[in-house]
Amino acid sequence: MNNLLVAQSGGPTVAINATLVGVLQGARVSTKVDKVYGAKNGIEGAINDNLIDLNELIKDTQALDTLTFTPSSALGSCRYKMKDWKVDDEPYKKIINTFKKHDIKYFIYIGGNDSMDTVDKLSEYCRVNNHDIYIMGGPKTVDNDLNLTDHCPGFGSAAKYIATTISELERDISVYDIPAVTIVEIMGRNAGWLTAASALARANGGPGPDLIYLCENVFDYDKFIQDIKDKLAIKPGLIVAISEGIKDSTGGYVSDSMSSGAVDNFGHKYIAGSARALEQLVREKIGCKVRAVELSLMQRSAAHIASETDIMESLMLGQKAFDCVVNNETGKMAAIKRLSDNPYRVEFTSVPVSEVANHEKIVPKEWITPEGNDVTEEMMTYLKPLIMGEINIKYENGIPKQYRLY
């Protein structure tokens, strides 16, 4: 028996189930795999022998279809970081026990940086210890910060949600004729790709965000206030996009520095986001109407406005990971290589996971304007194809249909 195990890890996205479905579709028509299992809650499910039988699911094409468009990780997730096996090989032994018990020869792990680190370590462990087990990574992260792939599954859909939402918020804030600033906080601690995607709100000629601050640049409070004053001199309602992870010249998060003195009635520190911190600053320094908006979990879970490009690519990356692993590739990650921007063309490939794990691909400085408050045309050219296309979501009783594995 040559069985396959698949698992999901890290923060959920809208596209991570599409990659799972890609793997399952591969297994459905392949002669190389007998049975397919899912590990519950990522690698922890493999360690604790907590598997789900997916063989019935594979035959149900309607369920696969619904699962493709269901947000978040259907198999659950974890935040488990594997130690080096030379330091502690206990979890590795447990995983191998699970694999042997269920005749698992192939393992596909869908996730971000930490998950690719697991793929790297576990595949090395198997190789060194002569286990006949092959392990591939499937990329996933809204942050778009994985190395060696043009972009990451989940990012395009989050970008489409952000662009659409900013264009809708722009309409909302433009109705009153008084000075007002709306500061929108977008995910990204170290990589500002999602914040950059706010610029796509201008795609059809709308004004989009008036100012954009990415976490790659040092955030200057005085410059920020001056930028706002300059813009308010031209138009009353401003919309400003900022990364949650913007840092000032001390290297500290803006959110921390502004909220460090604030405590509540119980003496507890307030945990403010960066937008809320800057809301306070604008109120203090300018005194106009100001509001902080956080796109929060919605930006990574709004499957109802997923990018068709993103979902289709995520599915194909799952199939690519499957193809690679059953052809005994190991220690690699399925990846996207962009061939051209316009027409948009890509190919799917596999890359050494050791060069992906523990790297972060941040926005190149040249794609941020010299003033540090917007993105360049190169960035727009890169982003545009990723939000193209809409998916035909099925609704039931007025809300999108979803598939729940458990």
How far apart CA 314 and CA 107 sit, in angstroms, is 18
Angle at 389 between CA 386 and CA 394, to 5 degrees: 125
Asked if 301 touches a second copy (CB under 8 A), the answer is: yes
Asked if 133 touches a second copy (CB under 8 A), the answer is: no
Tell me, yes or no, if 88 is annotated catalytic.
Answer: no
How far apart CA 273 and CA 93 sit, in angstroms, is 41
Residue from 30, 49, 94, 203 binding a second copy (CB under 8 A): 203
Joined tokens for residue 192? 């500002």
Residue from 128, 218, 262, 339 binding a second copy (CB under 8 A): 262
Phi, psi for 338 (deg, rounded to 5): -85, 130
The footprint of a second copy on residues 342-371 (CB under 8 A) is none
Which three-class secondary structure state does DSSP give residue 146?
Answer: coil
- Cα-based distances in Å from 31 to 9, 176, 204, 315, 323: 27, 63, 48, 20, 12
Asked if 233 touches a second copy (CB under 8 A), the answer is: no
Residue from 294, 338, 349, 369 binding a second copy (CB under 8 A): 294
Asked if 79 touches a second copy (CB under 8 A), the answer is: yes
Catalytic residue among 114, 117, 120, 143: 143
Cβ(235)–Cβ(170) below 8 Å:
no
Asked if 173 touches a second copy (CB under 8 A), the answer is: yes
Joined tokens for residue 122? 């576990």
Asked if 151 touches a second copy (CB under 8 A), the answer is: no
How far apart CA 306 and CA 397 sit, in angstroms, is 20
Asked if 201 touches a second copy (CB under 8 A), the answer is: yes
Contact mark string toward a second copy, 304..343, x via CB under 8 A: xx-x------------------------------------
Helix count and strand count (H, E) for the chain: 14, 13
**Closer residue to a second copy (CB): 77 or 141:** 77
Q: How far is the CB of 284 from a second copy (least distance, A)?
A: 5
Q: How far is the CB of 133 from a second copy (least distance, A)?
A: 25
Asked if 384 touches a second copy (CB under 8 A), the answer is: yes
Where are any strands of DSSP class E within 260-314?
289-294
Joined tokens for residue 393? 């979501």
The footprint of a second copy on residues 267-286 (CB under 8 A) is 268, 270, 272, 280, 283-284
Which positions are catalytic? 143
